Amino acid sequence: MSAVATAARKTARKAKGDGHLRRAEILEAAERIFVAEGYEGATIRKIADEVGVSSTALYMHFPDKGCILHEIVEGTLGQLLAQNTEIAARPLDPVVRTRMMLDAYMHWGLAHPNAYELVYSARGPVTTPAPERTAELSRQCYEAFSGVVREVAASGRLRTGNADSAAQALWMACHGVVALLIARPTFEWQDHDELMRIALDGVLHGLVVD
């Protein structure tokens, strides 16, 4: 690295005495790098440089990048839960709400690929187990969704299966869309929104009586 670049980096860093680093600032910077370069491509030094602090200063807040990702996951799952809860409470037909929740789920997964892989893929980017809070938030997200599918089942509109098997099959189908789009970014996919719309049309029209 040139002396000019090194000097520029030092100038960009926050000066001592500027106060404590906000954890939110670190998390926002880390998520940008995780999305751009993947979990393996991200390093503590890159995250620190993005924030404008030394690696030592960043380590005062997070012991490693795995802990950073776990906290990002918790925050994004909280967003998904809030979204599911809000949609579930709307005074709309349960099939409409089911579709809205599945659509929101897929868009959430594509917006947070590293968090999605950690929570919902068999082999996530981090080998350490997720905290119990992450598992609990994921369970609550599913309960909010499956509760709406139970409303569809209670109205007698399922062509096959029961409330639980229908909810799980719908989730599995949408997971496949998200997982493939994340895992195969170089494949010549059609427009993502169109693919998600077609997937929802297919699974819902096949499962639910109009």
pLDDT tens-place string over residues 39-57: 888 888 999 888 888 888 8
Phi-psi domain of 45 (left: phi exceeds 0; alpha: psi -120 through 50; beta: other)? alpha
pLDDT at 90 over 60: yes
- The per-residue pLDDT for 193 is 97
Which pLDDT score is estimated for 184? 94
**Is the C-alpha dihedral spanning 149, 112, 121, 196 positive or negative?**
positive
| Domain range for 100 | 65-207
| pLDDT greater than 70 at residue 4 | no
Q: What band does 129 get if pLDDT is binned at 50, 70 and 90? A: low
Token pair of 93, please?
A: 């037909």
For residue 32, name the pLDDT band (cuts at 50, 70, 90): confident
State whether 148 and 186 are in the same domain.
Answer: yes
Q: Is the pLDDT of residue 195 over 60?
A: yes
**Cβ–Cβ under 8 Å, residues 117 and 182:** yes
- How far, CA to CA in Å, does 167 sit from each of 72, 95, 159, 161? 27, 12, 13, 10
Q: Rounded CA gap, 43 and 33, in Å?
A: 9
> What integer is the mean pLDDT of 78-95?
95
Same domain for 169 and 148: yes
Looking up residue 22, the CATH number of its domain turns out to be 1.10.10.60
Rounded to an integer, the average pLDDT of 108-115 is 88
Domain count within the chain: 2
pTM over 0.75: yes
Q: Are 11 and 53 in contact (CB under 8 A)?
A: no
Per-residue confidence (pLDDT) for residue 152, from 0 to 100: 97
Q: Are residues 49 and 120 in the same domain?
A: no
Radius of gyration of the chain (CA): 21
Q: pLDDT: is 144 or 29 the higher one?
A: 144
Residues 124 and 165 in one domain: yes
Residue type at 189 in one-letter notation = W
